[in-house]
Amino acid sequence: MSQSRWSIGKHHYEPEWFKANRQLQYTIPRELQCWILDSGSLTERLKNAAQGQLQVRVIDMCHERPMWSERQALNIPDQQVALVRHVLLSGCGQPWVFARTVIPLASLGRSLKHLKRLGNRPLGAVLFSDKSLFRSELEVTACSSRANFFNKINVCSQNFSETEAIWGRRSLFKLKGQPLLVSEFFLPDIYGAMP
């Protein structure tokens, strides 16, 4: 993965995701490896790094058609919409992580309807406290800051450059057997945070 590749379609500059494996880890910047490859709760690690000063801000939450790769991961039909939640996680007043959660409507209609009412509470706290949690292997990407969903956060990070790659990870989670997809993108200000 020496250069980022894109799937062009309805969602321009959609990132291409790769299984997180030993070979791939050598392409991830050293400062980010411990963040990206950790399979535990990112929320807890961010809280620790921020010495308890972690802020969660919902940028938006709406029904929309997921990206092609998200539909594939969630095994949902092309025309189906899902609940998509974008949040910004900031530590010590700096934007560290942009997160995108995609929840199929079928999951919301069953045992996950409480996720519609999270507000500014971190999703990770809910996920990792549930005994029924299943998490797939991590996938990793280095995507362009020109990706459509990054338009939502350009104004949030003063160190956000259009030319640099933004590293991210994602996992398919299942709670009570119902799937949701969580993607987390590490913003430039996280480089100064110790995990």
Residue 34, pLDDT score: 87
| Rounded Cα distance, 49 and 102, in Å | 26
Q: How many CB atoms lie within 10 A of CB 30?
A: 8
Q: How many CB atoms lie within 10 A of CB 133?
A: 13
Phi, psi of 106 (to 5 degrees): -60, -35
Q: What is the pLDDT of residues 28-65, one digit of tens each?
A: 888 888 899 888 889 999 999 998 889 999 999 999 99
| N-to-C CA span, the chain | 25
Residue 99, pLDDT score: 93
Residue 3, pLDDT score: 38
pLDDT-flagged residues of the chain (< 70): 1-13, 22-23, 25-26, 110, 145-163, 194-195
Residue 65, pLDDT score: 92
Residue 9, pLDDT score: 40
Using DSSP, state whether 108 is helix, strand or coil.
helix
**Structure tokens belonging to residue 40:** 């535990």
The residue ranges of every structural domain in the chain are: 6-192
Q: Name every residue whose Cβ is closer than 8 Å to that of residue 117 and which is 6 or more positions away in sequence.
A: none
CATH of 6-192, picked from 3.40.1410.10, 1.10.1750.10, 3.40.50.10880, 3.40.50.300, is 3.40.1410.10
The answer to whether residues 83 and 61 touch, using CB atoms and an 8 Å cutoff, is yes
The answer to whether residues 30 and 46 touch, using CB atoms and an 8 Å cutoff, is no
C-alpha distances (whole Å) from 143 to each of 138, 159, 163 are: 16, 16, 10
For tokens 């933004």, the residue is: 166
| Rounded Cα distance, 36 and 195, in Å | 11
Using DSSP, state whether 3 is helix, strand or coil.
coil
